[in-house]
Structure 1
Amino acid sequence: MSFIEENLQNVQQKIHSACGKAGRSSNVQIVAVTKYVSLETTRRALEAGIHHIGESRSQDALPKWEALGPQAAWHFIGHLQTNKVRDIIGKFEYVHSLDRYSLAAEISKRGLAANAITKCFIQVNISGEETKHGLEPDEVENFIRKIKDLPSIEIIGLMTMAPYVEDPEETRPVFLGLRELRDELCAVFPDLHLPHLSMGMSNDYHIAVEEGATFIRLGSTLVGDERN
């Protein structure tokens, strides 16, 4: 068993336990964050049975996409500059960091030209940290009103990042806040289906799953870190 297979097995066990604790189904998608590992390690992740691959810099991600392409579902998880949209449309099925109208308009325009629909998470800064991107919670409703009818964009949910803390339990209010916001938005927009919450990383994903995460983004705890 490779180290990635072993890590995946451990992650799946923790997800199963967290879902049992929360009384929910185990319908959680694992996104392997491969930005700090090589093409070969990314390939091994796919061989281990991981289907979702997350990258945050287009210049680093594109060589991997060109080598591995349709073997994976590709997620852009980092802050996306508008002038980089052309590089990912038609290649990345998911964008987790939609946080401004100019970006939505560019994704829509490029998607129309490429005949590609991009599944988008709206990024929300639940924690209020100045260093994090994302809309303030009270801005999301108006933002959805502006973008929900743009062609070639499918809004599928919300994304947030919790602060890194030693005790993962301290992140719970952040994940709970995102879930509650999603539920409020579903009541405001009954015609808009928002089934997904992208939240939880290597240090806190079990708490995120307990609070309703459907996509978790795992790097070091799953595929390692090859920067050193």
Structure 2
Amino acid sequence: MGLSENIAIVQEKIACAAEKAGRSAEDITLIAVSKTVDAEMVKAAYDYGLRSFGENRVQEFLRKKEILPEDIQWNLIGQLQTNKVKYIIDNGVALLHSLDRPALASELQKECIKKDASIDVLVEVNFAKEESKSGLYPEEVDSFLEQLADCRRIHLSGFMTVAPYTDDRVYLRKLFAQARALYDKKKKEFPEIRYLSMGMSNDYEDAILEGSNMVRVGTAIFGHRIYQ
């Protein structure tokens, strides 16, 4: 199948999952994960109607940003090194999905002050406690948010999680439910929170059923890629 068919299938599955969850497809933001995808294919996806794209390498984001349409909503979804922060502040990043440690928050705040800017972020939480993945453990979230309160240039927009790659849907649904519970609890404390980013190509339907309103889909749209 081609790109347009892939996009249509993903959008249909999002709509079906949303309906099952008693929501509308319009409530779900689709992030097309375009890391390692060439700019021509990203432009083709844009021409088919997609507007939000996800990159995990700053250099690749900067290169594509210069040659692709200005109304693209760029999302940085990979772990961000502190020495790359200066390249993304006030430079077209709509949302950073992977705030995962105090040192990164400090660097973001410092660079925002320097440029008189601000940045919208999601706090990454590692619910499965996988050592191979980044993200705060659930019990670390409260203290981290207390520290984040001093970083006035960082706007907390919600939470992100990456679930383990598994066919155990019961386990996945359990993890996604934990993320939804955290989101609901913190939204009472922080009304500005609006995104729960969870669900990827292999599990986005389950994530939507458990309350995700932002999914990050790459392979199901662009096909399998070889990552460098």
Is 1:199 aligned with 2:198? Answer: yes
1:81-96 to structure 2, matched below 5 A, reads 81-90=81-90, 91-96=92-97
Partner of residue 108, structure 1 = 109
1:61-76 counterparts in 2 under 5 A?
Answer: 61-68=61-68, 70-76=70-76
Distance in 2 between residues matched to 1:129 and 1:208, nearest whole Å: 18
| Alpha carbons of structure 1 residues 174 and 41: separation in structure 2 relative to 1, 3 Å | same
Q: Which structure 2 segments of 5+ residues have no match?
A: none
Query: What is the CA-CA distance between 1:157 and the residue it aligns to?
Result: 0.5
Equivalent residues of 2:219, 2:225 under 8 A apart = no
The SS at the match of 1:70 is: coil
Cα displacement (A) at 1:183: 1.7
Do the aligned partners of 1:201 and 1:217 also contact (CA within 8 Å) in 2? yes
Q: Cα offset for 1:164?
A: 0.4
Q: How far apart in 2 are the matches of 1:166 and 1:36? A: 25
Q: State the Cα distance separating 1:226 from its structure 2 match.
A: 4.2
Match of 2:5 in 1: 6
Aligned to 2:160: 159
1:119 is the counterpart of 2:120? yes
Q: Once the 2 structures are TM-superposed, how far is the Cα of residue 184 of structure 1 from its aligned partner?
A: 2.2
SS at match of 2:68: helix
| Greater alpha carbon shift after TM alignment, 120-129 vs 84-93 | 84-93
- Give the RMSD, CA atoms, in angstroms: 1.7
Q: Find the aligned partners of 1:128 and 1:75 in 2 and give their Cα distance.
A: 24
Q: Which amino acid aligns with 2:224?
A: D
**Cα drift, residue 166 of structure 1:** 2.7
Counterpart in 2 of 1:134? 135
Determine what percentage of the aligned residue pairs are the same residue.
39
Contact 1:93–1:117 (CA under 8 A) maintained in structure 2 = no
- Specify the SS of the correspondent of 1:71: coil
Instruction: Give the C-alpha shift of residue 167 in structure 1.
Output: 4.3
| Equivalences for residues 168-207 of structure 1 within 5 A | 168-187=169-188, 189=189, 191-207=190-206
Q: Do residues 49 (structure 1) and 49 (structure 2) align?
A: yes
Partner of 2:32: 32
**Cα distance, 1:226–1:181 mapped onto 2, change above 3 Å:** closer
Summarize deviations over 1:144-164 as a string: whole Å, max 9, x none: 111134222110101001100
Give, in angstroms, the shift of residue 186 of structure 1: 2.9
The SS at the match of 2:74 is strand
Deviation at 1:9, TM superposition (A): 1.2
CA distance in 2 between partners of 1:151 and 1:135 (Å): 20
Residue type at the aligned position of 2:21: A
Report the count of equivalent residues.
Answer: 225
Q: Check whether the contact 2:127–2:138 (CA below 8 A) recurs between aligned residues.
A: yes
| Separation of aligned partners in 2, 1:82 and 1:204 | 30
1:211 partnered with 2:210 = yes
Q: In the alignment, is the contact (CA less than 8 A) between 2:58 and 2:88 conserved in 1?
A: yes
Change (3 A) 1:15 1:153: same
After TM superposition, the structure 1 stretch with the greater mean CA deviation from structure 2, 57-66 or 166-175, is 166-175
